[in-house]
């Protein structure tokens, strides 16, 4: 028996060793093959070879075959990557707009309290030079790069002022020294009372320190009489996992499991628990989510749902249940690599079963119940895994027309807002401001180039192409002409038809030019039908067992 046991142990060890050797051989083989291919291409290829570009394309294709989130970050892209993680950079703190590479840079939106705002730069001011270098011929990205720099350093902007001010007249070009600062783009973009009962916090991403921001905002809202918290995570693509844990910690007892990360090996499993006493375990919470809510947003909404601590409303979340870690690479590069999947307190993995096939908006497609597992919340409600967090109440957002999307994404609203600022020195207080000059907007927009076809007309044009490919256009010419005529609508008529949809976007664009970014969110809340419907929903959460 002893001999048999020793023999089996030896065979097992040999098997493990053989497996490791096989993997090492395969890895070595393909490294050698790749190097041989590059050398041969470099020696024989008919055109000059950009080895760096080819190598980068190969690396990106290799990582892309794994999942959408494992990425190579070379040294030259480190700053942008860090900005994505921290939402900070050194600069003047203003969004710029450059409609023409041969024109000037326009100050579009200075951030409230930023160096640009403190230096007196306002929307509509034109930057003609940056540290003596003309902005003519510079792209928007090149202009932005010249404005950025180490905090504490000074950049001199030559500015053509839109309006008269201290010692200058409108149209004067003056040199404005601006001391760069560490610009922090807020992750918690707005906090305020919606009404006498409901406090509202809009969180756009999870960056370092945002948990403390939520804590501070919650206490201020509570002091203003808040009786229910609305936490808006719509469109929030995630960020730092620890901040998600910190936010959940505010509302559930100390020592509660928030999320578990499981990698390929059991030894790498990590359980993240709350480590501080909560602020409030009683106040009702309404969490708003949609198909853009991903990663850390799903950790927060999933944990609060599993503990029956919040009511989740909106539409199903994105379904990103993967954890990325940063690993150093040669030549100061980094590898952002997926190392684990995460699981909510009930045991759900919110990762979509197949993340390579999604709806057009990125959301998870239909997943049959037969492919998912059921789990239970703290109070016995059934929840499922397999593709994001399914809300307790499904509340769909307003669906905008194709024309409205076209107007918004074409930049026409942005251009019009700048024109509006040029002709309006001020607007009423935000609560009294309503855009009433829509005919003026139509006159502006009708001469701009954008796709103003209706969805039906766009489908008709695609159908005509298919009929032409099948050789059926001539046979159906009469019917096609009649249908085309019925779908025809000129640009002005269509813009008037969609007036009620477009006005809120115009109001938002104008408001931020006069009252900074938070004003845009306040305008957006005026027209948020999804939020209004969610506020009237019954509360499914309960605190009996907390």
Q: Is residue 48 one of the residues assigned to a domain?
A: no
Q: Is residue 9 one of the residues assigned to a domain?
A: no
What is the rounded CA–CA span in Å between residue 219 and residue 226?
9
Q: Is residue 26 one of the residues assigned to a domain?
A: no
Dihedral Cα 505, 509, 510, 512, nearest 10 deg: 130
pLDDT score for 324: 87
Greater confidence (486 vs 350) lies with 350
Q: Which of the listed residues 157, 184, 211 is the one where a domain comes to its end?
A: 184
- pLDDT tens for 129-185 read 999 999 998 999 999 999 999 999 999 999 999 988 877 888 999 999 999 999 988
443 and 304 assigned to the same domain = no
What is the rounded CA–CA span in Å between residue 245 and residue 302?
11
Q: Are 509 and 184 in contact (CB under 8 A)?
A: no
Ranges 39-48, 210-219, 432-441: which has the least confidence: 39-48
Q: Is residue 337 one of the residues assigned to a domain?
A: yes
User: Does the pLDDT value for residue 11 go beyond 50?
Assistant: no
Structure tokens, 518: 């938070």
170 and 278 assigned to the same domain = no
pLDDT score for 164: 86
Active-site amino acid positions: 295, 306, 320
User: Does the pLDDT value for residue 9 go beyond 70?
Assistant: no
Q: Is residue 538 one of the residues assigned to a domain?
A: no
- pLDDT tens for 190-240 read 999 999 999 999 999 999 999 999 999 999 999 999 999 999 999 999 999
312 and 414 assigned to the same domain = no
Q: Is residue 468 one of the residues assigned to a domain?
A: no
The whole-model pTM stands at 0.86
143 and 215 assigned to the same domain = no
Q: Which of the listed residues 355, 377, 397 is the one where a domain comes to its end?
A: 397
Q: Is residue 470 one of the residues assigned to a domain?
A: no
258 and 212 assigned to the same domain = yes
317 and 426 assigned to the same domain = no
Question: Which regions of 49-100 does DSSP assign to beta strands (E)?
Answer: 71-73, 88-91, 94-97
200 and 348 assigned to the same domain = yes
247 and 357 assigned to the same domain = yes
Residue 119: give its domain's CATH number. 2.30.42.10
- pLDDT tens for 306-352 read 999 999 999 999 999 888 888 999 988 999 998 889 999 999 998 87
User: Does the pLDDT value for residue 15 go beyond 60?
Assistant: no
What is the rounded CA–CA span in Å between residue 50 and residue 514?
48
- Show the domain range for 445: 402-454+489-532
Alpha helices, DSSP H only, in 231-281? 241-249
Q: Which of the listed residues 352, 376, 397 is the one where a domain comes to its end?
A: 397
- Tally of domains in the chain: 3
pLDDT confidence bin for 542, thresholds 50/70/90 = low
129 and 165 assigned to the same domain = yes
Q: Is residue 502 one of the residues assigned to a domain?
A: yes
352 and 236 assigned to the same domain = yes
379 and 420 assigned to the same domain = no
Dihedral Cα 461, 466, 468, 470, nearest 10 deg: -160
User: Does the pLDDT value for residue 545 go beyond 50?
Assistant: no
304 and 429 assigned to the same domain = no
């Amino acid at each position: 028996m002893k001999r048999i046991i020793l023999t089996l142990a030896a065979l097992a060890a040999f098997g493990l060793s053989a497996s490791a050797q096989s993997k090492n051989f395969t890895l070595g083989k393909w490294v050698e093959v790749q190097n041989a291919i590059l050398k041969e291409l470099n020696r024989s290829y008919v055109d000059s070879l950009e080895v760096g570009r080819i190598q980068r394309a190969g690396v990106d294709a290799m990582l892309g075959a794994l999942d959408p989130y494992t990425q190579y970050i070379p040294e030259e892209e480190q700053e942008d990557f860090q900005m994505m993680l921290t939402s900070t950079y050194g600069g003047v703190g203003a969004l710029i707009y450059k409609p023409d590479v041969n024109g000037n840079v326009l100050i579009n939106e200075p951030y409230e309290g930023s160096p640009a705002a403190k230096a007196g730069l306002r929307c509509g001011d034109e930057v003609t030079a940056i540290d003596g270098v003309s902005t003519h011929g510079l792209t928007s990205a090149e202009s932005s790069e010249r404005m950025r720099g180490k905090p504490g350093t000074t950049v001199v902007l030559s500015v053509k002022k839109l309006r008269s001010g201290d010692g200058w007249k409108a149209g004067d070009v003056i040199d404005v020294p601006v001391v760069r600062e560490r610009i922090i783009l807020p992750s918690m973009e707005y906090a305020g009372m919606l009404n006498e009962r409901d406090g509202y916090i809009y969180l756009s991403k999870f960056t370092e320190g945002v948990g403390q921001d939520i804590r501070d905002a919650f206490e201020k809202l509570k002091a203003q009489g808040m009786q229910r918290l609305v936490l808006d995570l719509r469109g929030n693509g995630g960020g730092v996992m620890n901040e998600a844990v910190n936010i959940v910690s505010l509302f559930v007892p100390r020592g509660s499991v928030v999320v578990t990360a499981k990698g390929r090996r059991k030894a790498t499993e990590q359980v993240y628990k709350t480590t501080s006493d909560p602020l409030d375990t009683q106040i009702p919470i309404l969490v708003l989510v949609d198909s853009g809510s991903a990663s850390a947003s799903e950790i927060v909404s999933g944990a609060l749902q599993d503990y029956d601590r919040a009511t989740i409303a909106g539409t199903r979340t994105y379904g990103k249940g993967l954890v990325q870690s940063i690993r150093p690479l040669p030549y100061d590069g980094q590898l952002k690599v997926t190392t684990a999947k995460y699981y909510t307190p009930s045991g759900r993995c919110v990762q979509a079963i197949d993340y390579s096939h999604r709806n057009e908006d990125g959301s998870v497609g239909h997943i049959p119940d037969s492919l998912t597992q059921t789990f239970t919340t703290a109070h016995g409600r059934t929840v499922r895994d397999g593709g994001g967090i399914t809300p307790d109440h499904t509340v769909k957002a307003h669906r905008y027309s194709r024309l409205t999307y076209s107007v918004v994404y074409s930049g026409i609203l942005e251009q019009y807002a700048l024109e509006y600022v040029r002709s309006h020195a001020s607007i009423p207080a935000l609560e009294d401001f309503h855009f009433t000059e829509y005919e003026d907007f139509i006159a502006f927009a009708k001469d701009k180039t954008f796709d103003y076809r209706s969805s039906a007309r766009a489908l008709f044009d695609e159908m005509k192409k298919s009929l032409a490919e099948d050789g059926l256009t001539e046979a159906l010419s009469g019917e096609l002409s009649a249908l085309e005529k019925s779908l025809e609508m000129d640009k002005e008529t269509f813009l008037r038809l969609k007036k009620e949809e477009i006005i809120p976007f115009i109001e938002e664009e104008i408001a931020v030019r006069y009252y900074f970014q938070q004003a845009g969110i306040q305008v957006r809340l005026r027209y948020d039908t999804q939020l209004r419907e969610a506020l009237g929903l019954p509360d499914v959460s309960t605190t009996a067992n907390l």
